[in-house]
Amino acid sequence: MARPLSRRTLLRSAILAAAVPGAGAAVAPAASAATLPPPASWALQPFALKDVALGTGIFATKRKLMLDHARGYDVNRLLQVFRANAGLSTLGAVAPGGWEGLDGEANGNLRGHYTGHFLTMLAQAYASTGEQTFADRIATVVGALTDVRTALRTDPKMLAVTGKWGGALELVRGSHQYVDLPAGVLNGASAITLSVWVRPTHDANWQRVFDFGNNTTRYMYLASRNASGVPRFAITTGGAGGEQGLNGTAALPLNQWSHLAVTLSGTTGTLYVNGTAVATNTAMTLTPATLGTLTNNWLGRSNYSGDPLYAGCYDEFNVWSRVLTQAEITSLQSTEAKLSSPGLGNLASYYFQATTGGTFPDASGRGLTATLKRTWGGPSHPGFLAAYPETQFILLESMTGSDYTKVWAPYYTAHKILRGLLDAYTATDDARALDLASGMGDWMHSRLSVLSEATLQRMWGLFSSGEFGGIVEAIVDLHAFTGKAEHLALAKLFDLDSLIDACAANTDTLDGLHANQHIPIFTGLLRLYDATGETRYLTAAKNFWGMVVPHRMYGIGGTSTGEFWKARDSIAGTISATNAETCCAYNLLKLSRTLFFHEQTPAYMDYYERTLFNQVLGSKQDTADAEKPLVTYFIGLTPGHVRDYTPKQGTTCCEGTGMESATKYQDSVYFKAADGSALYVNLYSPSTLTWTEKGVTVTQTTSYPAEQGTTLTFGGSGASFGLRLRVPSWATAGFQVTVNGGAVSGTPVAGSYFTVSRAWKSGDVVRVTVPFRLRVEKALDDPSLQTLFYGPVNLVARNSSTSYLPFGLYANAALSGDLLPTLTPVSGKSLHYTLNGTEFAPFSEGTEDPTHAYFRRSEPKAVFGTVDSGVANPAKPDGTTLLDEVWAAAPFASKAALVARVRTVVDAWVAAGLLASADGVKVVSTADAASYVA
């Protein structure tokens, strides 16, 4: 009986039907050039990076540091892992380390992701600056990845290098390559000599120069390094415990040619290194004859699957059916075998320079042709591109639990590569990049479309191994370019229904989930909504955002503790040294921005300003470095935390997104209405917009946030549209707009947009005044734990104490409610203040000073205008103090209004038994006697 069609199967069929115009008809790409068309469902559209030039200010300063890194870092280092995986020359480049390469965390099982990030950074840098250097570097990467994909689609070919006597074979570390010899190579010899020139390139123990055996019981091997780091020969019919062996006395030098030889006959075995006998064993009873015909006859691979493959070069591997004399072995040191006294091996002889393919002829006369192979088989399937084999993707399909030492988020890595290629295509119009991206889409569809729905749900629900980042967004973008029905169908295959359905129903199930595994899913769902019109995607994304902001958000805009979410509204209870993973901020910004395209809810851009001006800017160290991007992973919010700008040796996910953030700071300063009727100014940032369709330029001049406002000057004439200026939610008073010096009528409302509509002329000047005030934000679960904001700027205390610092802020509060008069400005340092001997500075400054993002609010006495009443500031059971209740009514129009408020609150507290009557009188008289800042 046929299985009933699931919802996904039905929709997938509908997608394919809708996307294919007719049987056999060609599908035209949605765009004829490298431009991603804005979806029809977007009410607003972004400007291209090239259309918005950054002016002098903090963003340009931070970006310059990253652009210098982008110019100076050797991209061949990034390509090393790709080339190695394909068996190509790595051009002597050293992998970046950390998560890139084979020696970092989890054996480098995320390698390749960083190259994708870097490619995106280069694309954004080129789009922003037009500097040819960035385009050239993109071309280098795309060209190399094209070569890599080609190599992966064929059988491995010999990588020729300069050898001891001519050409030699190199087995690149990370290539998964070895040489397979025919089964009869040892020929059951009772006496034998094996001779080989090697040049090891890595110092991992237990690399096999050769290993002839059936399994881990019956074998004969020569390791370039044993557990002590010296060469070892062993033969056994009883596994490791029965080995009869020979150990060298010194490690082989790396990157130098060394000659190894083993002789074995009767009861005597001898190991030679560079012609010198370094070990002899006269109690050996095993020979190749004892082993019999063996299944696995390998150069560079071990019968123990956990041992590393040999990394290095081979020249002249010879096998004789007799024991060579000391003199004969000595002769091999100065003469190639064919000219030496023993001549070529009579059982096997391989020169390695005699081929450009993947087979090696046998010069012994026995015709034992050897073959270069990969441990994972191959060739790869069409379109596959990665820095590791397909095995990670294949193994994921059967995993029921995570083990990132075996499989670490292969589709996450695929996302970064795919995104980087798409960005390279849009920046440079290099058709090779789109071809590579399209091939990846084809390959993923071929893998995932044949899996059951249950398998897909299990895969995507696995922490870490099943993480796929923002791949859905990238695939929908890919479909917009290619028009391939399979690509849109592929995007649907990543649906994690349990998460989507819960969020669509506004059911918060985020507690315990890995934050950054799930945030980018929702940006992808928005793009799926754009492509399919399925409203549950849009609803789920909106509801999800509301579950994070503000319920799991720290003051700087970041989220997560140790990468995970805790219970809703638990802020103070989750403060740690591993808060606010920087990738989470990057992805929440992208989600907020995309939501705003659909619905112009000002809260999305309020969040954008908060996070961009604080966590994102503060995650980049204010130091130049050619080797590291210097971006945080976590931003600890514990007292006295010192930011780590080179986490986990670099090349983490957060350093990748950090590189991207620092080269697209201008992407959300301005948006345009889809119908051209309005220009949204979302961020106050020095910049120049070129709005080509309108023939208008807008130059924004400001030192915001050091300046409390901005000036916009128009170029071009005759364009009519509404200028929509964001009124931040914290700008509760004094927001003003003038045009050419004249005030604009209307009442700006905090947390909205203020519109000025007119036909704009060249020379028009709009002045926006955005008064700041010092305010606190309280932790949702502990009102006494607070963080300090001055306008959009989070101010952090710089102090080495590892305990929460107590601060009071009402002592000289202004009638407006502004707490700033209690602090003392630091001369010559904008946005720096002191309080009780501690300096406060903007979170955005990328220093290594110990900081306190949160402090303990302490108002022990009822003080007004710096006058102490001598009365203790009483508190209610919920922690609300008398002063809290007084100042909650700010702003006050006059001192009399403040005193009246004090009197009302005091009377209520006295009546409730919370304050003695005599103390109440003192409080009111002190308030009346004090002087206040307006």
Pick the CATH number of 160-374 from 3.40.190.10, 2.60.120.200, 3.40.640.10, 2.60.40.790: 2.60.120.200
Q: For residue 161, what pLDDT is reported?
A: 94
Are the folds of 160-374 and 670-769 the same?
no
Per-residue exposure over 344-378, b if at least 16 CB sit within 10 Å of its own CB, e if not: bbbbbbbbbbebeebebebbbebebebebbbbeeb
Instruction: Kindly list the distances between the CA atom of residue 730 and the CA atoms of 548, 756, 773, 792, in Å, as whole numbers in the listed order.
Output: 20, 21, 8, 8
Does the pLDDT of residue 24 top 50, yes or no? no
| DSSP characters over 850-893 | -EES-EEE---EEEETTEEEEEE--B-TTS-BHHHHHHTT---S
- The token pair that represents 208 in the structure block: 């096999």
Condensed to tens digits (0 to 9), the pLDDT of residues 562-576 reads: 999 999 999 999 999
pLDDT of residue 548 exceeding 70, the answer is yes
Strands 765-769 and 709-715: antiparallel
pLDDT at residue 521 above 90? yes
What average pLDDT does the segment 53-66 reach?
Answer: 98
Does pLDDT of 918 surpass 80?
Answer: yes
Tens of pLDDT, residue by residue over 668-693, are 999 999 999 999 999 999 999 999 99
Q: How many angstroms separate the CA atoms of 12 and 317, rounded? A: 56
C-alpha to C-alpha distance for 162 and 315, rounded to whole angstroms: 9
Q: Residue 107's pLDDT band (boundaries 50, 70, 90)? A: confident
How high is the mean pLDDT of the chain? Answer: 95
- Whole-angstrom Cα distance, residue 587 to residue 473? 12
Q: What is the mean pLDDT of residues 639-648?
A: 95
Question: What gap in Å lies between CA 587 and CA 765, rounded to an integer?
Answer: 35
First and final C-alpha spacing in the chain:
81
Tell me the sheet residues that pair with 613: none
Right CATH for 670-769 from 2.60.40, 1.10.8, 2.60.220, 3.30.750: 2.60.40
Among residues 624, 629, 641, 625, the alpha carbon closest in space to that of 556 is found at 641
- Each residue's pLDDT tens digit, 250-306: 999 999 999 999 999 999 999 999 999 999 999 999 999 999 999 999 999 999 999
| pLDDT tens for each residue of 111-126 | 999 999 999 999 999 9
278 residue type, one letter: V
Inform me whether the pLDDT recorded for 5 exceeds 60: no
pLDDT tops 80 at residue 20: no
pLDDT of residue 457: 98
pTM, to two decimals: 0.94
Domain residue spans in the chain?
62-154+387-494, 160-374, 670-769, 859-934
Alpha-carbon distance values, 100 to 631, 632, 647, 860 (Å): 16, 17, 13, 53
Q: What would the mean pLDDT of 87-108 be, rounded to a whole number?
A: 92
pLDDT tens sequence across 365-387: 999 999 999 999 989 999 999 99
Distance CA 408, CA 396 (A): 9
CB contact set of 795 (below 8 Å; sequence gap of 6+): 774, 788, 789, 831, 833, 840, 841, 842, 843
Lay out the sheet containing 742-743: strands in order across: 52-54, 687-691, 696-701, 709-715, 765-769, 736-739, 742-743
- Separation CA 355–CA 879 (nearest Å): 81
Q: What is the mean pLDDT of residues 163-182?
A: 96
Please give the pLDDT value at position 890: 96
